[in-house]
Amino acid sequence: MEAGGVADSLLSGACVLFTLIMYSTGLSDLRHMRMTRSVDSVQFLPFLTTDINNLSWLSYGALKGDGTLIFVNATGAVLQTLYISVYLHYCPRKRPMLLQTATLLGVLVLGFGYFWLLVPSPEARLQQLGLFCSTFTISMYLSPLADLAKVIQTKSTQRLSFSLTIATLLTSASWTLYGFQLRDPYIMVPNLPGILTSFIRLWLFWKYSQGRDRNYPLLQT
């Protein structure tokens, strides 16, 4: 195998490994829900938006014929659906969660209908779907900025997860390099905010490390 082929395989493997590690951080929430038989301190929306994001990128990967995108996002969609199912099982008020799920799924179905029925050109379909996936991913990476503002305000990083921050940094960096290798801006650009926000979180961990509760584990997920 040529050196370029080995490098490509290693980069693809890094994307798969780091992304699955990032998705697996939700297993701690899954364990918490099963042990307590409640959804206290567990947020529903991140599971739902990540699942929608996975399904969108899965469609992009299928249209592009990219095995790495297909495998990672198919696995991610299965995991997020599992987290959602367990959350709904233990959630006492299911109606708001089901309404959010139905709304986002409805938007996703309408989007797929538009891309596959009203955009006849495969090239134009790939570009528009890539733009949609990129925009959605960027919004997900930027959505926790409100939490970062609260960290600065309270001078406490208890609401942040150090292990998830590291996983996000490695995942975003590997996908940025993967997109650069493929010359695909739709993969490369949306992962840059993930790198930026991860470095901001690491800086906050360093700046407010003395203010952490000693009973709060550094690697909590």
Ranges of H-type helices in the chain:
3-24, 26-36, 45-64, 67-90, 94-113, 122-142, 145-154, 162-182, 185-188, 192-207
Selection from 164, 52, 36 nearest residue 44 by Cα: 52
Largest interatomic CA distance in the chain: 58
What is d(CA 62, CA 99) in angstroms, rounded to the nearest whole number?
A: 29
Q: What is the pLDDT of residue 51?
A: 93
The alpha carbon dihedral of 102, 221, 209, 203 has a sign of negative
The first and second tokens of residue 19, run together, are 């992304």
Predicted local distance difference test score (pLDDT) of residue 215: 36
pLDDT recorded at residue 77: 95
pLDDT at position 108 = 87
pLDDT digits (tens, 9 = 90+) for 43-92: 888 899 999 999 999 999 999 999 999 999 999 999 999 999 999 999 98
pLDDT tens digits, 151-166: 888 888 887 788 888 9
Is the Cα torsion angle 54, 57, 63, 67 positive or negative in sign? negative
- The residue ranges of the chain whose pLDDT is under 50 are 210-221
Average pLDDT score, the chain = 86
Tokens for 207, please give them: 């700046």
